[in-house]
A and B are shown apart, each in its own frame.
Chain A
């Protein structure tokens, strides 16, 4: 897929998100989200998305702030965060590489791509490179089975990969 270079994630450090108070901009977003639903709780997923976009991940402090804002218990927010695999409860690298490991991609040669990826980055699934640049995750089916093998980097899909192409791709992000 040809597209502009994927921008890096903003990733807040642990200290930055220890205690969160929503500023005016965030508050506006939340108000806007709340207007779409007849129950406050329904805003949870969109608000989590907004926070993850802002801070890169969802810390306990963020969960507490959301809970307070939406009149939920922090524990409830955490149970929701941990249910959905796309919410990150640990800080990721600036480029989050998510590789599809499901059938169609595998049939089209995802195996060598994954091996190459692990070898080049020197990390396994669920790990982040020491320089905090890349995090590698395996995901189940990204929903573009016809264009496999596919990697999602942050919000963008990179499809029809093979090992050479992967090399070029990674060079762009180095």
Chain B
């Protein structure tokens, strides 16, 4: 088992304090980075192969490269700590264990994209974590790691903590930006992408906590060293938040490419009560579910994609043989119906509709047509049908659950006693075109 990087201070006394951090050689990477050319920092990160840890897996260096050099506008860095996808709790762990690691990563990222103001958007529920960050920021200011003329290099950076207030959608980067700007957290139309026009209309980079926390290590030890960890396409270590039916749930740091079997059995102590594994969700609740047969899949971006799921945020939810998959899907849809911002029709209506169907099936009132309807909803509320990926987030589970555990669903609907189905015509059946206004002559 390799030594942890991001969680290296876990278990230390006063792990959050600046003193401890400095003992681990903290802020050494910043010293290195701030005398480099910003372009070289980006090059180094590109060479490390670091990919975003929030779900989409976008190469971080590539993202930074999109920031226009001379727009004349200020640039912003935002740290996305709005970790709210069920099954994901790794960012909280980093903040609780080693907030300075995050701050150091942010200084490096801000320097690379030439930002002088940075925000940490942290979910509202993390009240204490927000305070820990505020405390760490205070320490950093006092020791001149933040503020004007950092370490006498002439680089200025202010970091502010901005608390969310209970909306999972704000972990989507444009919704997050809207939220900082003081609006309802509704995702924006793209393009323009935040790198071009984000916060206050200025170029903005939004990076996940874990992504930023990797930066000091890369700068410290070199891109090649980082790239040597993990697999060819998925470099570095990854935090996996393991929850559900395992002996010891929690956050585990392993190199990308470690198999799920190792994570579940070796790190987490396997399934409790001598039960068998039934299924696991590899990357947070929006990732398609995998079955016990797929436990030997390596946990890296490409292998998981090949298995038909995504690594997402690394939120591993483990379910044993006793779990009713219809119930699981209902529970997940409850979450997504609750969190849909309501902007786009397919997501707003689709998530609520799918939840209704699942609830009915669970009340023993399902009918075989329901499964078709679920498939149809899943087909038409994702892949570009909605502004943001929340559409995909509830469609992928539906599709994968029906795909991999279709038998349970079919059993649930055939034993059901559906309500009398009245197929009501949507319109008065009179097909007299003159009765209606010509198409397009809408009121305006």
Contacts and interface: CB of A to CB of B under 8 A. Distances in A.
A31 to B, nearest CB: 15
Given A45-B162, A140-B86, A107 B244 contact: yes
Contacts of B200: 38-39, 42
Given A83-B167, A104-B244, A107-B319, A143 B84 contact: yes
A46 interface: yes
Contacts of A146: 89, 241-243, 249-251
B168 A140 contact: yes
B67 interface: no
B217 interface: no
A6 to B, nearest CB: 11
B182 A41 contact: yes
A46 B163 contact: yes
Given A42-B181, A107-B317, A152-B125, A145 B165 contact: no
Interface string B116-155: 0000000111111000000000000000000000000000
Interface string B311-325: 000010101000100
Contacts of A49: 124, 163, 165
Contact of B167 (A70, A85, A106): A85
Contact of A108 (B158, B244, B328): B244
A137 to B, nearest CB: 10
Given A42-B180, A143-B89, A84 B251 contact: no
Contact of A155 (B85, B128, B315): B128
Interface residues of B, number: 53
A141 interface: yes
B164 to A, nearest CB: 7
A111 to B, nearest CB: 10
B88 interface: yes
B127 A155 contact: yes
Which of A39, A87, A102, A144 is the most central at the interface, judged by chain B CB atoms within 10 Å of its CB? A102
Contacts of B317: 103-104, 107, 145
B245 interface: yes
Interface in A107-150: 107-108, 139-148
Interface string B175-216: 000011111110000000000000010000000000000000
A86 B87 contact: no
**Interface band, chain A:** 35 or more
Contacts of B339: 140
Interface stretch (B330-338, B361-369, B385-393, B420-428): B330-338
Contacts of B250: 146
A79 interface: yes
Interface in B50-86: 74, 83-86
A84 B244 contact: no
B243 A45 contact: no
Contacts of A161: none
Contact of A144 (B89, B180, B185): B89
A104 B338 contact: no
Counting chain B CB atoms within 10 Å of each CB, which of A43, A108, A142 scores highest? A142
Interface in B232-270: 241-245, 249-251
Given A80-B182, A141-B84, A86 B244 contact: no
B75 to A, nearest CB: 12
B160 interface: yes
A104 B87 contact: yes
B125 A145 contact: no
A171 to B, nearest CB: 24
A86 B127 CA distance: 12
Given A45-B163, A83-B167, A107-B319, A145 B87 contact: yes
B92 interface: yes
A80 B183 contact: yes
A174 interface: no
Contact of B328 (A38, A70, A103, A142): A103
B88 A143 contact: yes
B351 interface: no
B28 interface: no
A83 B178 CA distance: 12
Contacts of B241: 145-146
Nearest to B158: A36
Contact of A103 (B74, B87, B126, B183): B87
Contacts of B222: none
A72 B83 CA distance: 29
Contact of B182 (A45, A103, A106, A145): A45
Given A41-B183, A44-B182, A83-B341, 12 more contacts: A43-B182, A45-B182, A70-B182, A84-B124, A86-B166, A104-B243, A104-B317, A140-B168, A140-B335, A145-B86, A145-B317, A146-B243
18 contacts: A38-B200, A41-B182, A49-B165, A80-B184, A84-B165, A87-B165, A102-B335, A104-B86, A104-B244, A107-B243, A107-B245, A107-B317, A143-B83, A145-B87, A145-B89, A146-B89, A146-B249, A156-B128
Top 9 A-B pairs, shortest CB-CB distance: A44-B182, A86-B166, A84-B165, A85-B166, A145-B243, A104-B243, A41-B182, A146-B249, A155-B127
